[in-house]
Structure 1
Amino acid sequence: MNKTVRVALVALLCVGAAACSKKQEVKPQPQPEQAPVTAPASGPTKYTPADLDTDACLRQRVVYFDFDKDEIKPEFQQIMACHAKYLQDRPMAQIRLEGNADERGTREYNLGLGERRGNAVSSALQSNGGSASQINVISYGKEKPVCREHNEDCWSKNRRVEIVYTAK
């Protein structure tokens, strides 16, 4: 046989073999189910001023921080969602976020840290649906400690933002 015919025959056999081979079915990876974002499970469909004293989530009005940090810890995210929902349900409600720091550091540094912490809580409330017009941030720095001892346990209680409702 001619060389050209042989090459054509081999090429034809290769194409035929490739066409007859089984194709593997590529299955898409299943997407992990994401839980829908909903209102707090224990909360009512619409908050009222009475819920500030009766709802377990809304009664928690202090957010604690790590040393020299202004990031909100994951355990306080649900509290942010509850208070943001209250602000959504009650457009006339007003809150004051009082940022605090422990006694370590200068007065100026702690005032700035308290303000950053208050702003972090404000941002979390706003990202959960609260309105910036309902939120006022103030920093007390190290001027209003809840504990006056000089140890880590006491200092951790002073690194906080208190949520104070000025209008319900």
Structure 2
Amino acid sequence: MNKSIKGIVFLALMATAGCSSQTAVTSPEKHESNVTPSTANVPASPVTSAPSAAPSPSGYGFDRWQTGPLGDAFFDFDSSVLGADAQAQLKQNAGWLDNNPLTKVLIEGHCDSRGTAEYNLALGERRATTAKEYLKKLGVAPSRLDAVSFGEEKPFDTSAGEDAWAKNRRAHFVIKK
């Protein structure tokens, strides 16, 4: 009984948190509006590593996704471990943040649609926290970094399949005003 009450309370809290508005956070739909006609018709190039590997910046048309100076860090399936490509992207992000010392960033943890909502919220939190901790190790002040998980709730690509899922397994960076 006590367990089910806690579960209901947790779901109610998650539902209300999902309904709140954040004016500084850009929605995934805005990413698509920034697509130029020259890149919109370019087919996604396949990943040259193992099928479950996260895309590299050159894979899947990374430039098309990046709407600001900070790029996304991508993760393997069911993982919050930073691969070499993700570490390289976070180093670039840390360099930009060093040059812009007044900027604060919200790090959003995202997952693909596989797994339960609860599991994906926890995995998204681990991904956002992993990215935040790595940036802290690179010298970015913790007071400039916030982390949040959206789990599978705000996918970049809503289609199904490994290409779409790989795009959604990410830590996304939103500059806070």
TM-score band, normalised by the shorter chain?
A: 0.5 to 0.7
**Cα RMSD (Å):** 1.8
Q: Which amino acid aligns with 2:146?
A: N
Equivalent of 1:66, from 63, 71, 76? 76
Q: Secondary structure at the match of 1:96?
A: strand
Q: Does 1:144 align with 2:154?
A: yes
Distance of 1:155 and 1:84 partners within structure 2: 26
Give 1:81 deviation, angstroms: 1.8
Deviation of the 1:60 alpha carbon = 4.8
Q: Which residue of 2 is the match for residue 102 of structure 1?
A: 112
Cα distance between partner residues in 2 of 1:150 and 1:81: 30
Amino acid aligned to 1:132:
P
Q: Distance in 2 between matches of 1:150 and 1:166?
A: 31
What stretches of structure 1 of length at least 5 have no aligned partner? 1-55
Letter in 2 for 1:161: A
State whether structure 2 residue 86 is matched by structure 1 residue 84.
Answer: no
For residue 121 of structure 2, the aligned residue among 97, 111, 115 is: 111
What is the distance in 2 between the residues matched to 1:65 and 1:150? 17
State how 1:1-168 maps to structure 2 within 5 Å: 59-167=69-177
Larger of the two Rg values belongs to structure: 1
Q: Which runs of 5+ in 2 are unaligned?
A: 1-65
How far apart, in 2, do the equivalents of 1:110 and 1:65 lie?
Answer: 13
Alignment check: 8 A CA contact 1:100 1:159 kept: yes
CA distance in 1, matches of 2:113, 2:145: 26
Give the SS at the match of 2:125. Answer: helix
- 8 Å Cα contact 1:61-1:164 kept in structure 2: no
Give TM-score, length-normalised by structure 1.
0.61
Distance verdict in 2 for CA 1:60–1:87, change over 3 Å: closer
Aligned-partner Cα distance in 2 for 1:116–1:95: 17
C-alpha deviation, 1:92, in angstroms: 1.7
SS of equivalent to 1:59: coil
